[in-house]
Amino acid sequence: MDIGSLFLVLALFILVAIFIARPFSMHQSVGVTEEEQSLSSLLAEKERILDALAELEFDYKLGKVPEEVYPDQRANLMQRGADVLRRIDEFQEDEVETAIAARRVKQGSSASDEDLEALIAQRRTARAPGSAKFCPQCGAELHAGDRFCANCGAQI
């Protein structure tokens, strides 16, 4: 083996070592605020409640849950779910208020009424119950401008 081959192998070894060691040299930690952690736990609780509700429904249909127990358990889960959704909405409303305050600071003066009305209208359309459209035949979600259902082909 000649000296050129040795240098080439050594250079390749050094490049691979640098590539592998690069993530270890980057000590950038991402801090999570208490609000983000609270919102994350609320979203996880929402998922647990939805899973528990689906499991309760499934067990009831299979006959594992007696008829006299089912309504109480379902009502309890629905109440817990409503409480969690209410708390999640409070977090999201706080985000809108924070965005309004940030916009005011960015503009250097108070935000105009048109900006506030636009933010409120955007929030209302995002929360509107009829904002999502579904196929009357199969229940699949429809997109804006669809004239036919992508799932069953029904005309809209």
Q: What pLDDT does 96 receive?
A: 67
Maximum Cα interatomic distance, the chain, rounded to a whole number of Å: 86
Q: What pLDDT does 55 receive?
A: 96
Both tokens of 6, joined, read 């040795």
* The pLDDT of residue 109 is above 90: no
Q: What pLDDT does 71 receive?
A: 94
Average pLDDT, the chain: 82
The reported pTM is: 0.46
- DSSP letters spanning 33-65: -HHHHHHHHHHHHHHHHHHHHHHHHHHHHHT-S
pLDDT class of 29 with cuts at 50, 70, 90:
low
Residue 47 buriedness (CB in 10 A; 0-12 / 13-18 / 19+): exposed
